[in-house]
Chain A
Amino acid sequence: MVGVGNPMRGDDGAGHAVVDELRRLAPAGVDLTTASGDAAELIESWSSAEHVIVVDASASGQPAGTVSHFDAVHEPVPARMRGSSSHGLGVGEAVELARAVGRLPARLEVYALEGRDFSSGAALSAEVLRAARALARGLAGSLSPTALDG
């Protein structure tokens, strides 16, 4: 489970916030980590996992706090998830690069939390914080090793 983003850029910290919540809620045996979003780092982070869940912030024009979910193994990353990183290669690029070179895990789910304010030093927006907590609670229930095997 990888939370992606930069917590110093407001709602870009949504992925980290979900992981922070899960550190209290997730069952043992689930590997929780955070990443800045660099494509090579992400591909490396899931190289030894079978089932990976990535949570990142999105800026697609939906209401703040909206959660989108897609199965990255069976569908391409939506265009809105690509090219949004300030450092060139982000989550969308990591997924598509991994697909091209055969380094996708068996299961890869991506959750995108829509952000509103990405300014430097800002805190998470109230809507994003609520959505991050709700997503963490939902994921905690499905993150048992038995559920993951299924």
Chain B
Amino acid sequence: MPDKGEGNGGSFTVSVEALARVEGEGGMWVAVRDGRVAEVKLNIYEPPRFFEGFMRGRRFNEAPDITARICGICPVAYQMSSCHAMEMACGVVVDGPLRSLRRLLYCGEWIESHALHVFMLHAPDFLGYESAIHMAQDHPEVVQTALKLKKVGNDILALLGGRAVHPINVRVGGFYRLPSKRQFAALLEPLEWARSACLETLDLAAGFDFPDFEQDYEFVALRHPDEYPFNEGRLVSDKGLDIDIEDYDAHFEEIHVEHSNALHARLKGRGNYFVGPLARYSLNFDRLSPLAQEAARRAGLEPVCRNPFKSILVRLVELVWACDEALRILGDVELPTTPSVPVEPRDGIGHGCTEAPRGILYHRYRIDAEGSILDATIIPPTSQNQPTIESDLARFVEQNLTLSHEDLTWQCEQAIRNYDPCISCATHFLELELVDADAEGD
């Protein structure tokens, strides 16, 4: 590892070849020259998987099952965004109890995904451990709580999704099969425990040391008239964006950079933006349940949080809210009369944008009258956050040049983990440009 600083005019690099405690395979590289950050790269070298390419020609109703395979952590997000997009293309709205059950399923995914990140991947940073295993020697109760919380989320997925990993019970129009009321009732007690456990953990985590790192981000999230956002809403930002999801393309663009197998996204004419728990929370604090709002305030959070190191607190607030919301839905659940509504294909374009645990997940499909997919676009949250992660790294290094190389490297990794990046999701696609060498006069 290159030395830092001394004797070379304040020029050094901070690099990690393989990032720990993130989903997927990537590294980071920060070059400092004469005391200024000259270059930052979040290297995403996990191979691309071309999902959008092989969606072409498949049936419209295969999209939820195929795209769910993009990620083992947030398959429900892919199922929800693709279902909504296909339903829009076909002119169908899924409402009433079926819509509520979709929200319940999403609660399960948020609970298991946030629990994994908060307790197993992020907490070791604040408690000073290299990994969850090292942390477990001294704090077995943290790992016990994590495993139990994850099981609560998994149980919701297994019940409504058919199985906990890569659920198979979601279809365009609703579900294939519905559980019984008795099965739903079995979720109540574990969820009540989960809500209490998250409240207690939030109170403890509020005492962690957080670097002073407030940034002027442009937060982007869904916003719904009445609800903390999951499946629906307008896309808004704290700097004036307020659009229908159908207008995503007019405001956002994706570009390819050499050091990443995941496309970078940016707001046209404005640049970086930030999606995920911090953005969602800061744009929708007033939509949280009273219990979650109160817990946030008790943890010292303002209604807007601009310090990404505090994302662990915000995820815990969202965990409290997800348990609360699941209990609310279960409290007045009415079983739908049928597990799904009929959806007939028609020639059209559909957009879906839902809030995955890591932020907005946008899907767009064009289908023909027979239901064949003509083209597909999928923009996951980690793609959208890459430029912001790189800009955080640059600013963090510039503000902390006096740290030892070891501490600086450790905290830079932490700055990346703040985003809970899912590299596996981000590399679902890479645009391939084929160049005819002969035509170029080689």
In the complex where A86-B424, A87-B23 touch, is A38 in contact with B147 (Cβ < 8 A)? no
User: Across the interface, do B20 and A88 meet the contact criterion of CB distance under 8 Å?
Assistant: yes
Chain A residue numbers with a CB within 8 Å of B25 are: 86
A107-137 vs B, CB cutoff 8 Å, 1 = contact: the mask equals 0000000000000100000000000000000
B428 within 8 Å of A (CB atoms): no
A58 within 8 Å of B (CB atoms): no
Chain A residue numbers with a CB within 8 Å of B137 are: 100
In the complex where A86-B25, A87-B72, A88-B22 touch, is A41 in contact with B165 (Cβ < 8 A)? yes
Chain B residue numbers with a CB within 8 Å of A87 are: 23-24, 72-73, 424
CB distance from B73 to the nearest CB of A (A): 8
User: Across the interface, do B72 and A97 meet the contact criterion of CB distance under 8 Å?
Assistant: no
Name which residue of chain A comes closest to B72, CB basis. A36
A89 and B121 CA atoms in complex are apart in Å by 9
User: Across the interface, do B49 and A97 meet the contact criterion of CB distance under 8 Å?
Assistant: no
Partner of B143, one of A88, A101, A120: A101
User: Across the interface, do A101 and B20 meet the contact criterion of CB distance under 8 Å?
Assistant: no
Name which residue of chain A comes closest to B49, CB basis. A120
Name which residue of chain A comes closest to B136, CB basis. A100
Name which residue of chain B comes closest to A83, CB basis. B20
User: Across the interface, do B23 and A97 meet the contact criterion of CB distance under 8 Å?
Assistant: no
A59 within 8 Å of B (CB atoms): no
In the complex where A97-B143, A101-B147 touch, is A41 in contact with B132 (Cβ < 8 A)? no
A102 within 8 Å of B (CB atoms): yes
Chain A residue numbers with a CB within 8 Å of B52 are: none
CB distance from A78 to the nearest CB of B (A): 14
A40 and B153 CA atoms in complex are apart in Å by 11
Residue count of chain A within 8 Å CB distance of chain B? 20
In the complex where A38-B165, A87-B72 touch, is A101 in contact with B144 (Cβ < 8 A)? yes
A43 within 8 Å of B (CB atoms): yes
Chain A residue numbers with a CB within 8 Å of B144 are: 101
User: Across the interface, do B133 and A100 meet the contact criterion of CB distance under 8 Å?
Assistant: yes
In the complex where A88-B22, A88-B23, A101-B136 touch, is A43 in contact with B147 (Cβ < 8 A)? yes
CB distance from B150 to the nearest CB of A (A): 4
A88 and B72 CA atoms in complex are apart in Å by 12
Chain A residue numbers with a CB within 8 Å of B154 are: 40-41, 44
Name which residue of chain B comes closest to A100, CB basis. B136
> Which of A86, A93, A101, A102 has most chain B Cβ within 10 Å?
A101
- Chain B residues 94-135 with CB under 8 Å of chain A are 116, 120-121, 131-133
How many chain B residues sit at the interface, stated as a range, is 20 to 34
CB distance from B201 to the nearest CB of A (A): 16
Name which residue of chain A comes closest to B143, CB basis. A101
A21 within 8 Å of B (CB atoms): no
Partner of B132, one of A35, A44, A89, A120: A89
A100 and B134 CA atoms in complex are apart in Å by 9
B46 within 8 Å of A (CB atoms): yes
B264 within 8 Å of A (CB atoms): no
A20 within 8 Å of B (CB atoms): no
Chain B residue numbers with a CB within 8 Å of A40 are: 116, 120, 146-147, 150-151, 154
A101 and B137 CA atoms in complex are apart in Å by 8
Chain B residue numbers with a CB within 8 Å of A97 are: 132-133, 136, 143, 147
User: Across the interface, do A88 and B21 meet the contact criterion of CB distance under 8 Å?
Assistant: yes
User: Across the interface, do B151 and A44 meet the contact criterion of CB distance under 8 Å?
Assistant: yes
> Which of A40, A89, A93 has most chain B Cβ within 10 Å?
A40
In the complex where A38-B165, A97-B133, A101-B136 touch, is A88 in contact with B121 (Cβ < 8 A)? yes
In the complex where A40-B146, A40-B147, A120-B49 touch, is A86 in contact with B24 (Cβ < 8 A)? yes
Name which residue of chain B comes closest to A88, CB basis. B21
A87 and B151 CA atoms in complex are apart in Å by 18
CB distance from B166 to the nearest CB of A (A): 8
A96 and B150 CA atoms in complex are apart in Å by 18
In the complex where A38-B165, A97-B132, A101-B147 touch, is A120 in contact with B47 (Cβ < 8 A)? yes
Chain A residue numbers with a CB within 8 Å of B424 are: 86-87
Name which residue of chain A comes closest to B24, CB basis. A86
21 contacts between A and B (CB under 8 A): A36-B72, A36-B165, A38-B165, A39-B120, A40-B146, A40-B147, A40-B150, A40-B151, A41-B165, A44-B151, A87-B23, A87-B24, A87-B424, A88-B23, A88-B121, A93-B132, A93-B133, A97-B136, A100-B137, A101-B140, A120-B47
Closest 10 CB pairs of A and B: A100-B136, A101-B140, A40-B150, A96-B133, A101-B143, A101-B144, A40-B147, A97-B136, A100-B140, A100-B137
- Chain A residues packing against B (C-beta within 8 Å): 35-36, 38-41, 43-44, 86-89, 93, 96-97, 100-103, 120
- Chain B residues packing against A (C-beta within 8 Å): 20-25, 46-47, 49, 72-73, 116, 120-121, 131-133, 136-137, 140, 143-144, 146-147, 150-151, 154, 164-165, 424
What 10 new A-B contacts, CB under 8 Å, besides A41-B165, A103-B147, A120-B49? A35-B165, A40-B116, A40-B120, A40-B154, A86-B46, A86-B424, A87-B424, A96-B136, A97-B136, A100-B136
